[in-house]
Structure formats: C-alpha cells, structure tokens
Amino acid sequence: MASSRTLLLALFVFLTAFDLSPVDANFIKSMYFYWGAQHSAVLGNGDELQLVLDQTSGSGIISKRSFLFGSIQMLIKLVPGNSAGTVTAYYVSSNGDRHDEIDFEFLGNVSGQPYIIHTNIYAQGNGSREQQFYPWFDPTADFHNYTIHWNPSEIVWFVDGVPIRVFRNYESEGIAYPNKQGMRAYSSLWNADNWATRGGLVKIDWNSAPFKARYRTFRARACKWNGPASISQCASNTPANWWTSPTYSQLSYAKQGQMKWVRDNYMIYDYCKDFKRFNGQIPPECFKPQF
C-alpha cells in the first residue's frame, strides 16, 4: 500500500510539473488593454492579439491577475521590415518605487539588420542588469515562444525552450531577489527611438507605420498572488507547486549546454563585463555561479 501511494504521488508530481494546460489562456479572459485599446485587436476566438504603433499612439496589455513563481509564456511575432526605434516589450512586474520586474524587450532595427533581445531584472526597484542577444532566427517570420520562468531558486529566460539567461537567488548573501511581490504580465509596442536602435541614432521611419506585433496564446502556469500570504504559500515545497521541485532548482546539463551555445554565439552585451559602466565595481552577483 505504501509503495502504491508513493507511485501515485510520483505520478501526480510528474503530471503537475509537465502539465501544459494554460491558466486563463484566452486573451479576453486573462488580459485587458491598459493603453491604446483603439490600436489593438483581439482576433479569432480570443487566442490571438495584435498591438499597433503609429504616430498617434502605441498600445499595451496587462494580465488581470498577479503571480508569484511559475512560468509565464507568450507566442510573439515581431514587427516586420524596418522596425528601427520600436520596442516590443514583454515582461512581468509589480508596482511601486521598489518594484520587481523581469524583462524581455525586443529592440527593432533597420531592414536587414537583426533584432536585439534585451533582458533585464529589477529587484526592489534596482535594475541595471541588462544582457542582450541576437536571435538565431527571424523573429518576424513566425511566432516564437518567449517564457519567463522563476521560482525560489532561480529565474530563467527561455526562447523556444532554449535558456538564454539565468539569475540565481543569492538573497542570503545580501543580493536582492524578486520573491515577495506578485507580478502581472505585460506586453506593449511603443516608440523608443530615443534609445532603442544604435543608442537612439536611428529614428522611427513613420512612412513604415503602422507597426504591428502579433500574439498567440498567453499561458500562465503559475501561482496566483493573493496577498502577503502567497509569499510562503507559493514558495512552499508541495506537489502542487511544481516549480519548487528539485528538477527546476537548476538547469540540467543539456539545458546548460544549450545556453552556452547561445551565449557563445549570440550574446552581444553583458552588464557583468562592463567595467567602465560600473567604474570597476561590478555587481556582486556577477561573481556567483548562475548556471
């Protein structure tokens, strides 16, 4: 009998950990427009979305719920053609001056030049932890899966299931980590030509407007935030909290190999190597194992 209970528990954990069924996957049910609704459209049965930017306005969406730990994913097809000066942002964030935030931002470029995948993390209001990559595919030709996975041990940025970056929890050593604030999911398309392309040297060509980004199926396999009680509830090591399983406390060797390939071949900026920017005072997490 004991062995049967053990087998059932193991099966439950497996199914929970790898269940791909979404939480509120439909855009109409799970998100709303917080900016530029007149520039947005929900398509089909609510499983597709379009954000638009022109000279009058950009647009943005936000999840109805906040989450703490789990996986937040979105399928995105970026603005095609001359997208210089535009930014398509996809991130999770809390509110306030001491907010937490985990970012994907896609920096547009002139036709024929690659997009830049810009990542960052804020903990208790402090950011400046940027890492940037070129994609190894055309992100405008089809939809690609961008996933933010975070748990009490680490945050991982995935692109089509390939990890490109990890930020581990070293809070016990005085390094802030986002684990006490619920975060909503956001995405927006906006004019950032003061900095987005070559540091602002290349401006938006409004002759190419309107700019359009397409989305499919937002999925939040995550712990729903219900106030301060969620800090312990979402972090507790229970079968329902699949993200706390030891499987997700560190990347497998295979995933580490994938990430090394991306970072060796497509990484173009790492704040941990920018000695000039920090006057030689590199942030302490840069000296800690992340992978």
The secondary structure element, H or E, covering residue 254 is helix 253-266
Structure tokens at 32: 């709303």
Give the separation between CA 129 and CA 138, rounded to whole angstroms: 25
Give the separation between CA 79 and CA 139, rounded to whole angstroms: 8
Give catalytic status of residue 101 as yes or no: yes
Given the residues 48, 105, 171, 285, the one annotated as active site: 105
Given the residues 101, 130, 173, 285, the one annotated as active site: 101
Give catalytic status of residue 105 as yes or no: yes
Let me know if 283 is exposed, middle or buried by CB neighbors in 10 A (0-12, 13-18, 19+): middle
Let me know if 22 is exposed, middle or buried by CB neighbors in 10 A (0-12, 13-18, 19+): middle
Sign of the torsion formed by the C-alpha atoms of 132, 62, 52 and 58: negative
> Which active-site residues does the annotation give?
101, 105
